[in-house]
Amino acid sequence: MELKRTQPKILSGFMELLPADQILFNKMYDTIRRSYEMFGFVPLDTPILEYSNVLLAKAGGETEKQIYRFNKGDTDLAMRFDLTVPLARYVAMYSQEIAFPFRRYQIGKVFRGERSQKGRFREFYQCDIDIIGDEVLDIMADSEIPAVIYTTFINLGFNNFTILINNRKILNGVFESLGLKNRSTDILRIVDKIEKIGEKSVIEMLQELQIDEEKIYKILEFLKIKGTNDEILTKIEKLNVNYSSIFYEGITELKQVIEGIRAFKIPEKNFKIDFTIARGLDYYTGTVYETILNEYKELGSVCSGGRYDNLAECYINKKLPGVGISIGLSRLFYKLKEVGVIKKEEATTAKVMILPLTENINYAIDLATRLRLENINVELNYTKKSLKSMLNYANKLSIPYCMFVGEDEIKDNKITIKNMLNGEQKSCSIDDAINILKK
Amino acid sequence: MELKRTQPKILSGFMELLPADQILFNKMYDTIRRSYEMFGFVPLDTPILEYSNVLLAKAGGETEKQIYRFNKGDTDLAMRFDLTVPLARYVAMYSQEIAFPFRRYQIGKVFRGERSQKGRFREFYQCDIDIIGDEVLDIMADSEIPAVIYTTFINLGFNNFTILINNRKILNGVFESLGLKNRSTDILRIVDKIEKIGEKSVIEMLQELQIDEEKIYKILEFLKIKGTNDEILTKIEKLNVNYSSIFYEGITELKQVIEGIRAFKIPEKNFKIDFTIARGLDYYTGTVYETILNEYKELGSVCSGGRYDNLAECYINKKLPGVGISIGLSRLFYKLKEVGVIKKEEATTAKVMILPLTENINYAIDLATRLRLENINVELNYTKKSLKSMLNYANKLSIPYCMFVGEDEIKDNKITIKNMLNGEQKSCSIDDAINILKK
């Protein structure tokens, strides 16, 4: 009787990697986690499934459409679409038990059923940190966050990246003073394209919005402020406009944040004031961040976030200001692979494969155990296949070393070790081999 | 205007931990992962959402009822309910790309909407390893798996545990020879209780199944075989029954497995042949394992698995024999906490909290950066709260050390370090403090 078979396939928009890529992905994951822990952030792991009404307490139209939501029995469930809403719900639930400032990181999968497109995933990892204050949160937190971003990307092996910094109060102040507060979203969306489409096109598009010539001039004068961070701070104060108090509040905060970032000794080339970045306009209320890999600007921001006034207002009556960032790891990994930054070299779990060349594999087993006690990952190959076939297997797994254990080796209490990259092979004591493997 | 608030709560049967517990949970997670990697297993991370027909290709009634399944657009989706079905689907999809034997680990959440009960979760972590052969898989794999179990539980800090080992061919052979093959499930379910309810009750229950007196006697004679592993192997061969060839095949395999386990130098007290363990009767075809923490037998098996003949037969026409195990981490963690094995000592991310006692915190920032370069996790406290309040905060987070940086310390280029456990405090150089923190 022929078994009826099901075609093995996965949903489109869901990432799944071959082992070598998975190892590289996990290395990035581990580096991000390690970097976050370095700064004393504590881990959270909230459920993937929650009550729909809890997850959607604050959400708007787009989120509702994208969310994976369904009924099980009488319960209306949804899969989390970010890690911020669960954080808000968590802090609201346990506000009596946790210590503030609450510094948590969470790395986990989130789910969005959006239209499938290349490099966009429906199930993807976010790597978040947030610092939540009880009633107040020192502005120094806004400077520490870039220090975490800096450390994380340095640890990931990047050097040529820029953390872009702005303060939403400055933006709001400018638009408010021009009487354009309600239209700031549209204006910023246009101005955001200035590098791509040029100043002339931007002016035309703003004119289409029926904005006065004079106001367009003032907007551009503001947004085009360039220079070193100090030059920008000098120029913004000399702007010939009568701005509201919120504008000056933003300037004061931005200055403090820049001063703090310098206290963290982040190289000047790795952070830059940029008045054109805004992030989702509703959520953030002060400092905002984006991070650009300068050699791969086409990736867009790889780490973004900012300051918000009140994390959990839709759950409890308690003011919880915070600041946080998120790295979209799945997308970052995918894009870095696409541009060739991520390569498969040394994508392996086992540092060495032991190949017994004799029937009695007890010696090989003892050797494997001994190496593991030295913290060396070992795969023991007991397949009894041909030497050639076992070496091919080790190569396919990118295992950098093989050790042969035959009758001669057992008699002399030695092993033969082969470097799989350059093909060099030598006979040596087990201690010498351990030293080679630990290098 | 009063904001309408949503009550923050999570679904019942979903685990969520406070940070101190989460840190302990993650330590167990890391230890298991590290132990699996020691043996050269490579990581997988399959999607949580899959096509329903793919996940349910082989599943029976109970699974169908428990699964979280729903439609999104025209697509019939389900959340994975274990890590074995996705593994089968994965191996079937990528059989041309992966190297066999395929040794993979996967640690991730799985979802089962079963009736809620204490210590049973609807979203929980499984930690799986499997070794999959292409057409054949050496019996040595069945011995290596207990070596991985042993290493993992030793690394988790346990010592007094027993890996129970059986071979389904022996069970099948016995029942077959008695003409009871079709009723083995019922019989084993009853016999499984022998330690709890006593031999007499077991006999009565078997009689209720209309099983002959003589056959009951033979079943009990077989299942009651006790002694050392060697004694058991001697006794089983002397059983006065005419068993089928499958029985002797099982005995031969079991002997090889025990011999292999000894070659791995697993202490004799940590593994034991037990003819009463069977595991889910349909799936496994050879060796089966359970693991018991002897001081906490009430937890049941904390790590189980076995050998199967054909992993992916419902997806591809390719024989893929394998052997694997799973640790149900969420349940294990919950139970260990309940019996008091897991305690909150040292459940912290930061090793030290730096408390600046002066307005200028630049020195404190430099110190934090220096310690981090030494691989020490540091939380910098810039809240400007009172000393008492900052120390309380450090205590609440179980951070073991605090460092004070005031004007005197800056002038003398020293710091004051306080051991938060015993209250001892001293002034010393930064290098000395680093040595204390690294101890």
Give Cβ neighbours of residue A410 (< 8 Å, ≥ 6 apart).
Answer: A358, A360, A363
* Minimum-distance CB partner of B315 among A5, A75, A98: A5
CB-CB under 8 Å, A71 with B14? no
The C-alpha atoms of residue A180 and residue A174 are separated, in whole angstroms, by: 9
Question: B207 in contact with A at a CB cutoff of 8 Å?
Answer: no
Of residues B224 and B350, the one with the higher pLDDT is B350
Angle formed at CA A246 by CA A245 and CA A248, multiple of 5 degrees: 65
Chain B nearest CA to A345, separation (Å) = 15
Please say whether the beta carbons of A272 and A229 come within 8 A: yes
pLDDT in tens, B46-59: 999 999 999 999 87
- If you average pLDDT over residues B323-341, what whole number do you get? 93
Question: B31 in contact with A at a CB cutoff of 8 Å?
Answer: no
With a pLDDT cut of 70, the percent of chain B lying above it is 97
pLDDT in tens, B161-199: 999 999 999 988 888 888 888 888 788 778 777 777 888
The answer to whether residue B1 scores a pLDDT higher than 60 is: no
Chain A nearest CA to B61, separation (Å) = 17
The answer to whether residue B215 scores a pLDDT higher than 70 is: yes
Question: A96 in contact with B at a CB cutoff of 8 Å?
Answer: no
- If you average pLDDT over residues A129-146, what whole number do you get? 97
Q: Give contacts of A44 with chain B, Cβ < 8 Å.
A: 19, 22
* Minimum-distance CB partner of A16 among B11, B46, B361: B46
With a pLDDT cut of 90, the percent of chain B lying above it is 74
Question: A18 in contact with B at a CB cutoff of 8 Å?
Answer: yes
Structural tokens at position A226: 């360039």
Burial classification of residue A170, based on how many CB atoms lie within 10 Å of its CB (0-12 exposed, 13-18 middle, 19 or more buried): buried
Question: B341 in contact with A at a CB cutoff of 8 Å?
Answer: no
Q: Give contacts of A312 with chain B, Cβ < 8 Å.
A: 8
The C-alpha atoms of residue A242 and residue B294 are separated, in whole angstroms, by: 77
* Minimum-distance CB partner of B47 among A53, A123, A362: A123
Q: Give the residue on B whose Cα is nearest the Cα of A391.
A: B99
Chain A nearest CA to B192, separation (Å) = 33
Res A343: pLDDT: 75
The A42-43 sheet, strands edge to edge: A42-43, A102-111, A123-132, A322-328, A304-308, A287-293, A161-167, A271-273
Chain A nearest CA to B38, separation (Å) = 4
CB-CB under 8 Å, B378 with A314? no
Chain A nearest CA to B19, separation (Å) = 6
Res A280: pLDDT: 66
Question: A134 in contact with B at a CB cutoff of 8 Å?
Answer: no
The B352-356 sheet, strands edge to edge: B378-380, B352-356, B401-405, B415-419, B425-428
CB-CB under 8 Å, A90 with B123? no
- If you average pLDDT over residues A207-211, what whole number do you get? 90
Half-sphere exposure of A166 (CA within 13 A, CB side): 24
For this complex, say whether ipTM is above 0.85: yes
CB-CB under 8 Å, B23 with A397? no
Q: Which helix (H) or strand (E) holds B412?
A: helix B407-412
* Minimum-distance CB partner of B89 among A8, A19, A26: A8
CB-CB under 8 Å, A72 with B71? no
pLDDT in tens, A386-406: 999 999 999 999 999 999 999
* Minimum-distance CB partner of B6 among A42, A79, A314: A314
Chain B nearest CA to A26, separation (Å) = 8
Res A359: pLDDT: 87
Structural tokens at position A82: 């970010």
The C-alpha atoms of residue B148 and residue B250 are separated, in whole angstroms, by: 22
CB-CB under 8 Å, A48 with B104? no
Question: A51 in contact with B at a CB cutoff of 8 Å?
Answer: yes
Res B241: pLDDT: 65
Please say whether the beta carbons of A124 and A110 come within 8 A: yes
CB-CB under 8 Å, B365 with A16? no
Instruction: Tell me the whole-structure pTM to 2 decimals.
Output: 0.95
Rounded to 5 degrees, what are φ and ψ at A69? -130, 140
Which of A69, A79, A145, A383 to probe by mutation at the B interface, max B CB count within 10 Å?
A: A383
Q: Give the residue on B whose Cα is nearest the Cα of A113.
A: B72
Q: Give contacts of B19 with chain A, Cβ < 8 Å.
A: 42-44, 98, 104
Q: Which of the four pLDDT bands, split at 50, 70 and 90, describes residue A252?
A: very high
- If you average pLDDT over residues B294-317, what whole number do you get? 94
- If you average pLDDT over residues B151-160, what whole number do you get? 95
Chain B nearest CA to A150, separation (Å) = 12
Residues 356-415 of B with CB under 8 A from A: 361-362, 365-366, 369, 372, 377-380, 382-384, 393, 396-397, 399
CB-CB under 8 Å, B8 with A312? yes
Please say whether the beta carbons of B276 and B289 come within 8 A: no
* Minimum-distance CB partner of B72 among A68, A71, A264: A68
The answer to whether residue A379 scores a pLDDT higher than 60 is: yes
CB-CB under 8 Å, A14 with B138? no
Rounded to 5 degrees, what are φ and ψ at B4? -80, 120
Question: A197 in contact with B at a CB cutoff of 8 Å?
Answer: no
Res B428: pLDDT: 95
Structural tokens at position A143: 């400077």
Give Cβ neighbours of residue B55 (< 8 Å, ≥ 6 apart).
Answer: B67, B78, B80, B81, B85, B86, B89
Q: Give contacts of B348 with chain A, Cβ < 8 Å.
A: 42
CB-CB under 8 Å, B48 with A15? no
Average pLDDT score, chain A: 92
Closest CA to A165 of A236, A104, A112: A236
Chain A nearest CA to B9, separation (Å) = 7
Please say whether the beta carbons of B295 and B160 come within 8 A: yes
Q: Give contacts of B382 with chain A, Cβ < 8 Å.
A: 138, 140-141, 144
Check whether the bond before A146 is cis (ω within 30° of 0).
no
Chain B nearest CA to A186, separation (Å) = 27
pLDDT in tens, B53-77: 999 998 766 778 899 999 998 999 9
The C-alpha atoms of residue A214 and residue A194 are separated, in whole angstroms, by: 18
User: Is the sign of the CA dihedral B146, B150, B155, B157 positive or negative?
Assistant: positive
Cα–Cα distances (Å) from B408 to A173, B402, B423, in that order, read 43, 17, 21
CB-CB under 8 Å, B50 with A264? no
Q: Which helix (H) or strand (E) holds B403?
A: strand B401-405
Least confident interval from A402-411, B108-117, B309-318, B337-346: B337-346
CB-CB under 8 Å, B43 with A9? no
